[in-house]
Amino acid sequence: MVDTWQLVVFWALFAMMGVSALRVVTSSNVVHAALYLVVTLMGAAALYVLLLAEFVAWVQVLVYVGAIIVLMLFGLMLTRAPIGKGMFDNDQRLVAAVTAGALFGVTTWIIVDAFEGQKITLSKATGIRAESIGDVIFSSFVLPFEVISMLLLAALIGAVVIARRD
Amino acid sequence: MDFVAPKIALSGIAPEIALAATALLVLLADAFIGDRPRTLRPEHGSARPGSGILGNRWHLPLLSLIGFGAAVYLALDAWDRVDATGATTQFSGMIAVDGFSVFVKITLAVFGALTILLGHEYLVRRDLEEGEFFALVLFSVAGMMLMASSADLIVTFLALETFSIALYVLVGYQRSRLDGQEAAMKYFLLGAFSSTFFLLGIALVFGATGSTNLYGEGGITSFLATTPAADLSLLVLGAGLLIVGLGFKVAAVPFHMWTPDAYQGAPSPVTGFMAAGSKLAGFAALLRLLDVVLFPLRWDWRPLVIGIAVVTMIVGSILAVVQDDIKRMLAYSSIAHAGFVFTAVIATNDRGISGALFYLATYGLTIVGAFAIVAVLGGPEERRTRVNDFRGLFAAHPLLAGILTLLMLSLAGVPITSGFVAKLVVFGAAVEAGYTWVVVVGAIASAIAAFFYLRILVVMYMVDAEVAEEPKAVMGPLSIGVIGLSAAATLVLGLFWSPLIELAEKATFFAGP
Amino acid sequence: MNAIVDFLGGDIVVTAIVKTVVAFAALLLTTLIVVWAERKVIADMQARIGPNRWGPYGILQTLADGIKLFFKEDFRPRTADKWTFALAPVLAMVPSLLAFAIVPIGDHITIGDRRIDLIVADLNIGILYFLAMGSIGVYGVVLAGWASGSKYPLLGGIRASAQMISYEIALGLSLVPVVLAAGSLSTVDIVAAQAGSVSNVSFFNGVPVLEQIAELFSFVPNWYIWSQWPAFFIFLIAGIAETNRAPFDLPEAETELIAGFHTEYSGIRFALFFLGEYVHVVIISAMAVTLFFGGWGGPKPDFLPWIWPIGWFVFKTGLFVYLFVWLRATMPRLRYDRLMWLGWKRLIPASLVWIMVTAVVNTEGVSRNARLVVFGILFVIVLFWLGKGDPRLTGAVTPQRRRVHGPS
């Protein structure tokens, strides 16, 4: 029974994400596009929940939905960017479509090539718990973790330099 | 809680730690040591020569220099260790501690220190904030060093981003200049674009090998040793994308579009730093990746790299000839030089690697000096950087003109300069590997390139009655020192090259699986 | 019955649905009471009577208001963005409601042979979920401001979103030391970690006199308010700012912005914003109780043992809601720059320092001397920090002084 429900939810999410992802690129209103992006990202988070990766799911919500898109909207408002039909349209749709298609093809190929036939059995007990992520981050991945903090600090200083009023 | 804390040996990244810590100290000192007094008035050129350059603002550059000194010391310490015990990896195989990384780190620290010296004078004269500049230079050098010693593609990417982000900001540091902002924007957009190539490359490599680690257990090296060559197409594609991503950073054609604009718009000390450091870091990653890890795949990636090398040398040289602005011209010349280094990469032999190291070290020392001269002659907004603005330089500043001549000759690869020796070494490596025709192309490109270096020389020595404004050098002790050092290095390494080459050869050993 | 249960996926799913419905209903009911209580309390503080017409002591006043709003004309400005305008109020309320899922309101009850925990979902990463919901809550405000298509809502929306983004950081950071101390992101575990007596805390073990003094206080429960009081105050301030209530109610500053981001809203949509704010107040109060005041913990007599935890929880939460009301009746509104100054220059650094302190103190094997050193450093930092004095507070900033920093 559970499997059936999982499949139903998966396909529902698939439809939702597909439609909203299309609307992100076809919508002529930037704010609407951003909102559709939110729907897409939330769908991804829901997929993670479906895979019992709760930590990743909520980090996805917190970072992408709660921070990045909010900042995008905030930026749109603060800069009084022209919001309306046709403002952000250009004639590169075909190129964009081809690029996106190629990227999609390549990604699909990698995933199929790399993980074909592998099956991961999920259970609540073996689901990705926050502790196990912490263990990995602070043992084998401790260096990338520290380097990221340096990267973010450099970015922060850069943002201050650029934004400083003098 | 069955968490086992990893054993962490810090010697591999001690220089980076020193630099990052210094950057934090610089920021703290900048924030807490009161209002920064303005020792010079903003009006450019009215400065009393030699006075007040150090003034009350000496503590930040001094701190930064101490940081670089500490980095060099720690790198030498790591050298002693690897010399005694052999190359190893640290941080669960994320960091390679070997002679190669140590050599690159020391060179980078020298470039960084020179940038600090130049930057200090440049900023004080233009009345710009200093703390963030030094911090960003320190962070970017730390990132570049990590590039050199990273043994995991994730770390490589993060290091790449660290120094790139710092450089984007440094390029646009003088915000009153519109062309600087434009340059920063272009550099940022294209750099972000290239990062996505690199990331996709990592994804492909991971998909192919199941690991991002270069040397560790189950890493790429051991994967290549155990897998038949038939199903490697994904890995080759991934490697191609990694080359593209790094090609942006070293400004190889066709990924060079950002270079002229970024080099022109950036403050000259930053431009010199980019030309020297960014190139060295990018090539360090490329050398480790291609010549060491993907060595078994060399027949697959070599055609692509040869293509890049040939196109880069030719296009860089030809486009440099038609430039009117000396910073743009040096930008195209740096593209051509990237092509010359690529000939060492395709050689895939020890001589190629040590040759590339020697080339990048000497090129960096020369180009920093060249941009220092541009900085002192350019005026407050660096508007006087056209070739014609150098008319009559010999009459106005004979010594400066002489040094510029030396540096230009070195860039052109004329004997008794370091540039000549460097070209000889990399071309020799390529010939040894059997790529004589690439070397012939390189020689042709050098000949083309010589034309524009000579053009500057001709303009400099011409005494023209119609000079609208004589070139005026505004320089303090720091600029003079850096220019002198650069000239001395160019000349000395052109005459007595063997110690440095031997050092580079000695450094050519890598961590293994 | 069993067929339906099976179709829905068995016991677990049915329990979850029932829990959700009950929690939702209870929360809405609480909100109605809170709105009424606020009006009564404020009226009392201002020597007025307050609502007294509908029901005993006017307790049905909120319901009446709700019905009135429901039947009012649903006005939408011509320049408004239709769908976003309709979406915003929902987004303002739903995340707060959802956040309630991870608040444990009691221990557990047993029906038949089935143990039911009195929490909608004991997530392994509950705190993260709470923060995620808080961050989604910003959307309601931002979109309301933008979609209204007029200037005061836009200004209010920008202000509100800036404020919420800024204080979200402090809020999140203030939770980190609690998580460090409890060693878990789960709210149930955090409540469990606060059980027992404060004298069990081994902080003063081995210090001659202090050890005995600590023993005297063995009746005091081991709530995190004692060991984590700086985190608590940061949490409380940031939480109040997150709800956009006095003294941080700048987004709705009547004198400047009419009603801020919901100026153009009326009828049921306004009611949703209104409701959302009070749900948010209840959530922040409940989280404060859960994280710092032992959650549902308290004396548990034998009579009806399962109801006492719920009673304690409701009582403690009620106190916090009262605090919210009290603050609104007492505090004047902050100026915008001071709001940002407080958030970025005081709360965020303070919480970062406190995280560091907690991390060091919590590490096993850290000697007493090391702890003392940590506190010494903290003391110096605090002294320095207080002594530095921001010129904005002392009014020392003058245009002349500022120009020193700003060349050309």
Query: pLDDT at position B49, please?
Result: 40
Nearest CB to C125 within list A31, A54, A74: A54
Output the average pLDDT for chain C.
77
Mean pLDDT, residues C318-345 taken together? 84
Residue B277 makes CB contacts below 8 A (sequence gap 6+) with: B108, B111, B112, B115, B140, B141, B144, B163, B364
**Residue boundaries of the structural domains of chain B:** 11-34+55-506
Q: Is C90 on the interface with A (CB under 8 A)?
A: no
Interface test with C, best of A3, A5, A20, A62 (most C CBs within 10 A): A62
pLDDT in tens, B97-122: 888 999 999 999 999 999 999 998 88
Distance from CA of A135 to the nearest CA of B (A): 6
A136 contacts on B by Cβ (under 8 Å) = none
Question: Contact, C65 vs C39, CB < 8 A?
Answer: no
Residue A9 makes CB contacts below 8 A (sequence gap 6+) with: A46, A50
Residue C398 makes CB contacts below 8 A (sequence gap 6+) with: none
Residue of B nearest to A152 (CA): B162
Share of chain C above pLDDT 70, in %: 80
Contact (CB<8Å) A166/C162: no
Contact (CB<8Å) B91/A135: no
pLDDT in tens, B453-472: 888 888 888 766 566 667 77
Contact (CB<8Å) A140/B6: yes
Residue type, B305: V
How crowded is residue A166: how many other Cβ atoms within 10 Å of its Cβ?
A: 11
Burial of B268 (0-12, 13-18, 19+ CB in 10 A): buried
pLDDT in tens, C1-57: 566 656 555 677 777 888 888 888 888 888 888 888 888 888 888 888 888 888 788
pLDDT in tens, B7-41: 677 888 899 999 999 999 998 888 776 554 444 44
Query: pLDDT at position B276, please?
Result: 93
pLDDT in tens, B71-82: 999 999 888 888
Residue type, A140: S
Contact (CB<8Å) A140/B139: no
Q: Is A34 on the interface with C (CB under 8 A)?
A: no
Q: Is A41 on the interface with C (CB under 8 A)?
A: no
Domains of chain A: 4-164 (1.20.120.1200)
Query: pLDDT at position C53, please?
Result: 81
pLDDT in tens, C274-301: 888 888 889 999 999 988 888 787 777 7
Share of chain B above pLDDT 90, in %: 44
How crowded is residue B160: how many other Cβ atoms within 10 Å of its Cβ?
A: 29
Gap between the Cα atoms of B263 and B274, Å rounded: 8
Mean pLDDT, residues C117-124 taken together? 76
Confidence of residue C364 (pLDDT cuts 50, 70, 90): low
Question: Contact, B344 vs B426, CB < 8 A?
Answer: yes
Does the pLDDT at position A145 exceed 60?
yes
Interface contacts A/B by beta carbons within 8 Å: 101
C183 contacts on B by Cβ (under 8 Å) = 1
- Of B419-423, C182-186, C264-268, the one with minimum mean pLDDT is C264-268
Gap between the Cα atoms of B325 and B385, Å rounded: 6
pTM for the whole thing? Answer: 0.87
Provide the b/e sequence for A99-109 (b: ≥16 CB within 10 Å).
eeeeeeebeee
Query: pLDDT at position B106, please?
Result: 93
Contact (CB<8Å) C124/A5: no
Q: Looking up tokens 């009691």, which residue turns up? A: C106
Query: pLDDT at position C3, please?
Result: 62
Query: pLDDT at position C297, please?
Result: 77
Nearest in space to A56 (alpha carbons), one of A133, A145, A115: A133
Residue B253 makes CB contacts below 8 A (sequence gap 6+) with: B308, B311, B312, B315, B316, B335, B339
> Can you count the helices (H) and strands (E) in chain A?
7, 0
Does the pLDDT at position B356 exceed 90?
yes
Mean pLDDT, residues B371-379 taken together? 88
Residue of A nearest to B159 (CA): A147
- Of A63-67, C78-82, C182-186, the one with minimum mean pLDDT is C78-82
Nearest CB to B42 within list C183, C404, C408: C408
Question: Contact, B290 vs B221, CB < 8 A?
Answer: no
Does the pLDDT at position B228 exceed 80?
no
Contact (CB<8Å) C9/A1: yes
One-character DSSP codes across B267-315: -HHHHHHIIIIIHHHHHHHHIIIIIIITGGGHHHHHHHHHHHHHHHHHH
pLDDT in tens, B310-347: 999 999 999 988 888 889 999 999 999 999 999 999 98
Pairing of strands B88-90, B95-97: antiparallel
Q: Is A55 on the interface with C (CB under 8 A)?
A: yes
Gap between the Cα atoms of A120 and A111, Å rounded: 14
Query: pLDDT at position B39, please?
Result: 45
Query: pLDDT at position B113, please?
Result: 94
For residue B115, give Cα distances in angstroms to B271, B385, C123: 10, 19, 52
Query: pLDDT at position B223, please?
Result: 84
Mean pLDDT, residues C115-136 taken together? 82
- Of B95-99, B479-483, C147-151, the one with minimum mean pLDDT is C147-151
- Of B42-56, B307-321, C162-176, the one with minimum mean pLDDT is B42-56
Interface test with A, best of C128, C148, C164, C186 (most A CBs within 10 A): C128
Mean pLDDT, residues B227-256 taken together? 86
Distance from CA of C402 to the nearest CA of B (A): 11
Query: pLDDT at position B38, please?
Result: 46
Output the average pLDDT for chain A.
82
pLDDT in tens, A21-33: 988 888 777 888 8
Gap between the Cα atoms of C71 and C75, Å rounded: 12
